[in-house]
Amino acid sequence: MTQHKIAVLVGSLRKGSFNRKMAKVLAELASSSLKLEIIEIGNLPMYNQDLDEDPPSAWVDLRESIKNSVGVLFITPEYNRSVPAVLKNAIDVGSRPYGQSAWEGKPCAVMSVSPGAMGGFGANHHLRQSLVFLDMPTMQQPEAYIGGASKLFDANGRITNEDTKKLLQKFIDTYRGWVELHLKR
């Protein structure tokens, strides 16, 4: 069986990030055909077109990691009804120089994770606007707005709620199918 590398971008830099915990849970739930790999974005220099001629090595590494992945999974909190700056910066870095986007055609999915009741709905949909422009086929269902995140994990980072586990399993299984569908095209 072929194992497909999936780049995972986590929009939170916090040490105890619920989003990072969720990425690890999804990696455990993924079938053996998917290998989820968190791509670190916290140390990326801010995108500046002046640097395109001689890009920082962190930019080159990010672009190569995305290009070498079959698909992308975005897991993000919501900051002010949008995505965190660190995630937007990673998207901008990966989309440049113009005409050389690492994101193009990569099947992706979005999950927003928040301690709030709305589960990062605003960030989830704001991110999707960028993904349309980047020509990334984005999985539509099941939608994943995970609220109440502060009560979902045990001390070892495992999900304690059975209904949430079922939703996460459905999400990652559907995403596997989404990736496989786009590999056939």
CA–CA separation, 65 and 41 (whole Å): 11
What tokens were used for 19? 């989003």
Helices (H), the chain: 18-29, 57-67, 85-94, 121-133, 162-183
Query: Crossing angle of helices 121-133/85-94, nearest 10°?
Result: 10
Q: How confident is the model at residue 116 (pLDDT cuts 50, 70, 90)?
A: confident
Break the chain down into helix, strand, coil percent, rounded to 5.
40, 15, 45
Answer whether residue 1 shows pLDDT above 80: no
Tell me how far apart the alpha carbons of residues 14 and 59 are, in angstroms, rounded to a whole number: 21
Tokens encoding 37: 């790999």
| CA dist., res. 110 & res. 156, Å (int) | 24
Percent of the chain with pLDDT over 70: 99
Instruction: Kindly report, residue by residue over 42-53, the tens digit of the pLDDT.
Output: 999 999 999 999
pLDDT in tens, 95-104: 999 999 999 9
Q: Is the pLDDT of residue 185 over 80?
A: no
- The answer to whether the bond into 97 is cis (omega within 30° of 0) is yes
**Was domain 4-183 assigned CATH 3.40.50.360?**
yes
